[in-house]
Structure 1
């Protein structure tokens, strides 16, 4: 089984429902088991700052899928929610990023693992550290990078506490 860490973010529409939809779809995917979901963090936008705040979380999952099959699943979920890529760092209904895939280093046109900017982004590192098992060198680097950041300055605030995967994907009417 492959161990994968994902980052999910959204700043359009019903942000919490967008996150729940994405996690639920991942949990329903054959060959994928969502092991842990972080708390939800509200974060200031990066790059293009004239937009709404984001909700972000991280997941730890196990999968029999290859890294490229996992990328396809993530992109399909983005399409289901209506993701449109208008410009870099712009508003988005959902964004699923593969942060880590086992201990692998992958660099292709369509996939870079570890994620190219994850060590520079508190909104990625804070939830990632929460779901990590600290067993990989890459996650140790994430812990070190996080310790050197001023989280308040980075605009990362816990929005909702962590719950089990089952509780997280349960939609309340």
Structure 2
């Protein structure tokens, strides 16, 4: 999908891994993304560590995640980009047995230009991105002026940190 003037759209992809050589996997995934026709990497964040999130909430007994964000320009539509993300996950040994289970690589499409989608396969903007420090913090690193659903990512991160501090 392109903007009306034919320019590529910006997309944000969140990366995470908690199995294997996490740092090498994230680096390789960025390289794989850069090799996709119609995708250019504008920036990639420094990885940050986070506690595993499961269906039951935070789980410190699980292996710790490394998370990051890649800022892209792409001429691919949202679903075509999602296909490429899934292909890259599979190439890195991603197994989909348990929802929100441990994984060698997780690539989530957070935003794709102004695309709004609510299908069984793809919800955009990502429905939980505003609740995840491990998405907002690296995103803010690579794009200090970023917005998510009309809100500044910096403001979302500040509110999230404030909420976490009160717990």
TM-score (norm 2): 0.85
Superposed displacement of residue 133, structure 1: 5.1
Superposed displacement of residue 38, structure 1: 0.8
1:41-62, Cα deviation, whole Å (9 max, x unpaired): 0111112613100000001000
> 1:9 & 1:146 partners in 2: Cα distance?
18
Superposed displacement of residue 104, structure 1: 1.8
Higher mean C-alpha deviation, range 39-48 or range 118-127: 39-48
Superposed displacement of residue 144, structure 1: 1.6
Kept after mapping to 2: 8 A contact 1:78/1:94: yes
Higher mean C-alpha deviation, range 30-39 or range 136-145: 136-145
Residue segments in structure 1 that go unaligned for 5+ positions in a row: 155-173
> 1:22 & 1:93 partners in 2: Cα distance?
11
Describe the SS at the equivalent of 1:148: helix
Change (3 A) 1:137 1:28: closer
> 2:151 & 2:68 partners in 1: Cα distance?
19
Superposed displacement of residue 135, structure 1: 5.5
The reply on whether 1:118 has 2:129 as its aligned counterpart is yes
Aligned residue number for residue 8 of structure 1: 15
Describe the SS at the equivalent of 2:139: helix
Superposed displacement of residue 89, structure 1: 1.7
The reply on whether 1:103 has 2:114 as its aligned counterpart is yes
Kept after mapping to 2: 8 A contact 1:134/1:140: no
Kindly tell me the number of residue pairs found equivalent between the two proteins: 153
Residue number among 64, 70, 80 corresponding to 1:59 in the alignment? 70
> 1:20 & 1:132 partners in 2: Cα distance?
19
Kept after mapping to 1: 8 A contact 2:12/2:110: yes
Higher-RCO chain (CA-CA 8 Å, sequence separation at least 6): 1
> 2:93 & 2:105 partners in 1: Cα distance?
8
Describe the SS at the equivalent of 2:121: coil
Describe the SS at the equivalent of 2:95: coil
